[in-house]
């Protein structure tokens, strides 16, 4: 059985991403992480991913229209052959159009409940 090709979007140090990558390397894993992408080119998680052999993509959204930024992320995911996306501490709101393109294949594993509850202490 072929493993599912997963892309992970991050915005920071990538602790959840690192756990997903490490789990993907288990012999019985159902997925491979084929790309880690970020809206912050300086995100520490990108360096961790690269050091562990995972391809990365980074693009700052500053100064460009949201649709153009999301098109760049979408293109990078598709070029890498991503079949499903994990949002692992990705701190940007994605447009309805982007989410619709990945409907049924995108999962937010971060506990944030944006936009209703902002910040890192969501559950409080």
Contacts of 8 (CB under 8 A, 6+ apart): 14, 17, 20, 21, 33, 35, 36, 37, 85, 86, 87, 88
d(CA 119, CA 123): 10
Q: Does the active-site annotation cover 110?
A: yes
Helix (H) or strand (E) holding 68: helix 66-79
**Among residues 38, 40, 110, 112, which one is catalytic?**
110
Facing residues of 117 across strands? 113
CA distances from 19 to 25, 81, 114 (A): 10, 21, 23
Strands (E), 39-124: 56-58, 84-87, 106-108
The residues annotated as belonging to the active site are 110
């Amino acid at each position: 059985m072929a493993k599912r090709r997963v892309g992970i979007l991050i915005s920071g140090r990538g602790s959840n991403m690192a756990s997903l990558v490490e789990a993907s390397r288990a012999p019985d894993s159902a997925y491979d992480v084929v790309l880690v992408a970020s809206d912050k080119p300086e995100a520490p998680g990108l360096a961790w991913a690269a050091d562990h052999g995972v391809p990365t993509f980074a693009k700052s959204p500053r100064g460009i229209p949201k649709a153009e930024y999301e098109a760049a992320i979408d293109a990078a995911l598709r070029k890498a052959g991503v079949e499903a996306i994990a949002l692992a501490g990705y701190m940007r709101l994605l447009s309805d159009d982007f989410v619709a393109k990945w409907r049924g294949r995108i999962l937010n594993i971060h506990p944030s409940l944006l936009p209703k509850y902002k910040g890192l202490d969501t559950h409080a």
